[in-house]
């Protein structure tokens, strides 16, 4: 037997069965999904019809016989497809369906452990074949860690080996529609840890934001320390704060007894853990680690004023040339708490927009008079 254990991520949609048996016909086959949860993931091993030990009850097939005849040399044909391309094909041993048989339901676990139609003749699936599509699927999963987009469908046929009509009953059902693989992405505050960039936060109670498609989320915040060299070092250290499990995509650092206050001048790591439902139970996925530095807003105001002053001087140097030194001297000691343009007070970001409009262009300066001192 070729083992199968591949992770499948996506959203499960319960779509009504398409019954393609004869109408009227000898047999009717109906497929029903047994899970009552909206699964985010599924293991193909759970529907491996030779894998009874680890399989979960995922689906059931109900076989109805519409005529009083006996049917010999019958067998089940099973197929799992992705976008109508077969991934798994399986056939059972031959069995007889007695004339007295009318209806029976089999779960996928019962099909894999042996089944009968009421006369004690137990049959098993003896042939499970993996198509080339499965190898391609594995390669895709190795690249991304998740199943590619697609529609996954179960097809079950009741066939007769020696009969006028080889297929005497057929049913199919969409098992999984993977339209959005499991993802988790941090948004703010901060930047990915270790990438050389810095990100400053000016409040001790930042709001943490992320995107994801799990059921619940949990935020962990850690103080950055010298001994933290790897992801495991971070995740295995004592967090400053661990949130409750949340069903939303943002949360603010609390003023609470279970949260160590964040301190200005220190750097912090944070991650989000996402919880998802799978056919094998609940699973978790951790985000990448982000970091941010906590800066006292009083100190940042003076630093920001200095940065803006230097930007203005660089801009005026391009416009005035050597005369910019006179302007620099006349502005010595001024604070850029108030900026006016054409007599109207503007914010720093508006000043940057104005400067950008003038960059790279030529203008004739008719007169330039520094403004009256405002301290």
- Report the range out of 13-17, 186-190, 312-316 with the highest average pLDDT: 186-190
| Best CA proximity match to 275, nearest among 184, 148, 353 | 184
- Predicted local confidence at residue 346, as pLDDT: 75
- Predicted local confidence at residue 251, as pLDDT: 93
Residue 6 has pLDDT above 60, yes or no: no
Domain for residue 363, yes or no? no
Q: Both 34 and 132 in a single domain?
A: yes
Question: Half-sphere exposure of residue 241, counting CA atoms within 13 Å on the CB side?
Answer: 24
Neighbouring residues of 298: CB distance < 8 A, sequence distance ≥ 6:
none
Q: Both 173 and 201 in a single domain?
A: no
Task: Identify the domain containing residue 168 by its residue range.
Answer: 7-178
- Report the range out of 31-40, 196-205, 220-229 with the highest average pLDDT: 220-229
- Predicted local confidence at residue 134, as pLDDT: 62
- Predicted local confidence at residue 132, as pLDDT: 67
Split at pLDDT 50, 70, 90, the class of 36 is: low
Residue 19 has pLDDT above 50, yes or no: no
Domain for residue 2, yes or no? no
- Predicted local confidence at residue 217, as pLDDT: 95
Residue 182 phi, psi dihedral angles, 5° rounding: -55, 130
Mean pLDDT of 186-201: 84
The span from the CA of 54 to the CA of 4, in Å, is 11
Last residue of a domain, one of 178, 193, 214: 178
The pLDDT tens digits of the residues spanning 126-162 come to 877 767 666 666 666 544 445 566 778 889 999 988 7
The span from the CA of 118 to the CA of 323, in Å, is 102
Q: Both 83 and 143 in a single domain?
A: yes
CATH number (domain holding residue 96): 2.70.50
Q: Both 118 and 174 in a single domain?
A: yes
Q: How many domains does the chain have?
A: 3
| Best CA proximity match to 96, nearest among 127, 125, 64, 74 | 74
Q: Rounded to whole angstroms, what are the CA distances from 251 to 184, 215, 220, 234, 277?
A: 15, 15, 11, 21, 22
């Amino acid at each position: 037997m070729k083992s199968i254990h591949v992770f499948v991520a996506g959203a499960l949609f319960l779509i009504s069965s398409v019954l393609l048996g004869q109408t009227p016909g000898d047999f009717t086959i109906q497929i029903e999904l047994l899970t009552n949860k909206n699964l985010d993931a599924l293991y193909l091993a759970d529907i491996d019809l030779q894998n009874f030990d680890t399989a979960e009850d995922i689906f059931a097939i109900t076989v109805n016989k519409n005529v009083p005849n006996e049917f010999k040399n019958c067998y089940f044909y099973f197929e799992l497809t992705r976008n109508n391309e077969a991934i798994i094909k399986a056939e059972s041993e031959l069995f007889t369906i007695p004339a007295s048989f009318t209806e029976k339901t089999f779960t996928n676990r019962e099909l894999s452990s042996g089944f009968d139609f009421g006369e004690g003749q137990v049959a098993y699936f003896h042939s499970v074949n993996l198509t080339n599509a499965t190898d391609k699927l594995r390669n895709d999963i190795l690249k991304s860690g998740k199943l590619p987009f697609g529609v996954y469908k179960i097809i079950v046929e009741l066939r007769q080996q020696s009969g006028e009509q080889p297929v005497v009953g057929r049913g199919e059902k969409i098992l999984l529609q993977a339209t959005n693989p499991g993802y988790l992405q941090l948004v703010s505050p901060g930047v990915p840890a270790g990438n050389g960039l810095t990100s400053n936060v000016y409040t001790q109670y930042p709001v943490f934001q992320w995107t994801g498609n799990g059921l619940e989320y949990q935020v962990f915040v850690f103080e950055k320390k010298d001994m933290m060299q790897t992801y495991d070092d971070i995740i295995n250290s004592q967090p400053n704060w661990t949130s409750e499990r949340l069903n939303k995509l943002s949360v603010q650092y609390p003023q609470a007894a279970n949260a160590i206050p964040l301190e200005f001048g220190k750097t912090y790591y944070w991650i989000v853990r996402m919880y998802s439902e799978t056919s094998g139970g609940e699973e978790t996925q951790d985000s990448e680690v982000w970091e941010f530095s906590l800066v006292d807003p009083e100190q940042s105001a003076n630093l920001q004023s200095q940065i803006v002053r230097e930007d203005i001087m660089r801009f005026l140097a391009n416009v005035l040339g050597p005369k910019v030194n006179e302007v620099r001297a006349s502005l010595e000691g001024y604070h850029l708490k108030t900026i006016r343009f054409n007599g109207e007070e503007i914010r720093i970001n508006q000043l940057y927009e104005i400067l950008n409009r003038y960059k790279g262009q030529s203008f004739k300066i008719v007169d330039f008079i520094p403004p009256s001192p405002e301290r």
